[in-house]
Amino acid sequence: METIALGRPTGFHDAYLFDLDGTIYLGEDLLPGARRLIEELRGRDIPVRFLSNNPTKAPAQYAEKLARLGLPTPIGDIANTVATMTTWLTTNHPDAVVFPIAERPLIEAFEAAGIAMSEDPDEIDIVVASYDRGFEYRKLQIAFDAIWFHKRAFLVATNPDRYCPFPGGRGEPDCAAVVAAIEACTGTTCRQVVGKPDASMVAQALAGLDVDPTRCVMVGDRLGTDIELAHRAGMASALVLTGDSTLDDVSALPEDRRPTYIVESIDQLIPEPATVSSR
């Protein structure tokens, strides 16, 4: 197996995009170095944005959690697939009737945006698959009828994750499991996935900032979502070894798909010999 060297930046980037689960925190605990790095960047007035593929929480809930963990964050600095899917639907299919296989935060976001929803397969234009801990056969039947029987609906998804990681190495089946069930019975193929690594997440996160994505860095713990997002958006990338992906996983990738930086602790993204700023 090829030996992969760790590497840290020699200077600061113009803006930083961070994954949350497995990168900034795990469960109810900040990961080592997270507070130090975020406070350092904010002390230098460098924009910080947070991205998550988890659609079971609204951005306001993420803001509440970050505040609880000692990192107060405006709601506008958080982009997740609740916001991204809502924006995608209102921009690309404003008149569509959708059937969300989802939890309350996504459904409430659709309601607030005026997106029409129905459980009648004869009315549904788009089936939206998501991370849904209430997924059941009834919902699968509605999706099946709308796509396969009535042949009027198509399938989209909030995120491509196979599972959501938990502390202690456990996890829960995520959106990809719901998508797979629908694809298996209908023979359809999911038409659009708006979460990482889709570049629409970058546009959502950087909205309102006068920064060039090529001068920004995406920081995360998953090669297939966080690091691939950076690659698609033309950004630098940093893999932190506190979550899903390992050095062995990196070595299995072609060189042009590997992270720009690899660090064991997220605060190693502070360039040496940077002096910690005082606010």
Query: What pLDDT is recorded for position 34?
Result: 97
Q: What does DSSP assign to residue 29? A: E
- With beta carbons less than 8 A apart as the criterion, state whether 176 and 161 touch: yes
Mean pLDDT estimate for the chain: 92
Q: Do domains 15-53+196-269 and 82-193 have the same CATH topology?
A: yes
**Range in 85-89, 191-195, 251-255, 265-269 with the lowest mean pLDDT:** 251-255
CA distance 167 to 185: 33
- With beta carbons less than 8 A apart as the criterion, state whether 118 and 90 touch: no
Looking at the predicted structure, is the pLDDT value of residue 279 above 70?
A: no
Name the architecture of domain 82-193. 3-Layer(aba) Sandwich (3.40)
- Express each pLDDT in 45-76 by its tens digit: 999 999 999 999 999 999 999 999 999 999 99
The CATH fold assigned to 15-53+196-269 is: Rossmann fold (3.40.50)
pLDDT exceeding 70 applies to what percent of the chain?
Answer: 96
Band the pLDDT of 5: cuts 50, 70, 90: low
Question: By three-state DSSP, how is residue 99 classified?
Answer: strand
Query: In sequence order, what E strands does 45-160 have?
Result: 48-52, 78-80, 97-101, 116-117, 126-129, 154-157
- Express each pLDDT in 259-270 by its tens digit: 999 999 999 999
Whole-prediction pTM = 0.86
Q: Where are the domains positioned within the chain? A: 15-53+196-269, 82-193
Looking at the predicted structure, is the pLDDT value of residue 195 above 50?
A: yes
Phi/psi region, residue 45 (left: phi>0; alpha: psi -120 to 50; beta: rest), is left
Question: By three-state DSSP, how is residue 157 classified?
Answer: strand
